[in-house]
Amino acid sequence: MDIKLIALDLDGTTLRSKSVLSEATKDALERAIKKGVHVVIATGRTFASLPEPIFGIEGLEYVITSNGAHITDLRTNETIYSNCADGTAIEKVREILYAHREFPVEVFTDGHAYIDEMVYEDVKNNGSDYMDANYILRTRNPIPCVYDFMLEHKNDIENINIHFRNLQDKAEFKVLLEEYEGITVTSSMPHNIEIGGATTSKATAIFDLCQRLNIEESNVMAIGDSPNDSAMIIASGLGIAMGNAVDEVKEISDYVTLSNNEDGVAYAVRKFVLEDC
């Protein structure tokens, strides 16, 4: 295949455990870039939560953040595309979240992630058996009331992240949310649900970028591991699941590579783009 753009999820995909970018993956991506292929990071993280090693990939031009809410041109640090949720939809979502305040909520806006300070302090003092405590303390900004904050920024919300200790609670809440219009409901981890705008997705952002670069989606290779990667994997010419991907992602993919801790991205890039594997 004539791959002209590689779209990559980060956690569980491009990165090894503990947010490590291996030399093998970095080398494969830089070789692809030198070959003229656009490499695009497409992550659920906010821009401020991106790990520093990503910026060390020589020639990396674009980053898609918050599940497709923004595209940033790294050469100018300019946001060239935005697709946030509608304020009216956020008001409705806020009502149901406020009625179920037992589930911790994070709000993404303006490239940053915010969490209720009571949750932040609890995680800081006691840790968590279902949330990544270190990641929360490193990347989340504590605020007095996340629900008031949600209303104050209702027209600029990139993503809402909800955590569940009990997976049955998550399944039931997902069914409840899917009845609402004007939002998308997805997940990037076993214990979370993520809410975006009606058309917010990594796939939609990649389509916009393809139009800007005059690239057909059939010339895109997308790699991911979680449900929030499914749309871009389906839309791309070559959709690849990581060896550690959930079954539903593997089932809709064209190929399954090695796991993230085995540098599955590097293997796929060498096989399908560099053709030396």
Cβ-contact 191, 79 below 8 angstroms: no
Q: Which of 9, 11, 116, 225 is catalytic?
A: 9
Known catalytic residue: 122?
no
* Residue 265 CB coordination number (10 Å): 28
**Active-site amino acid positions:** 9
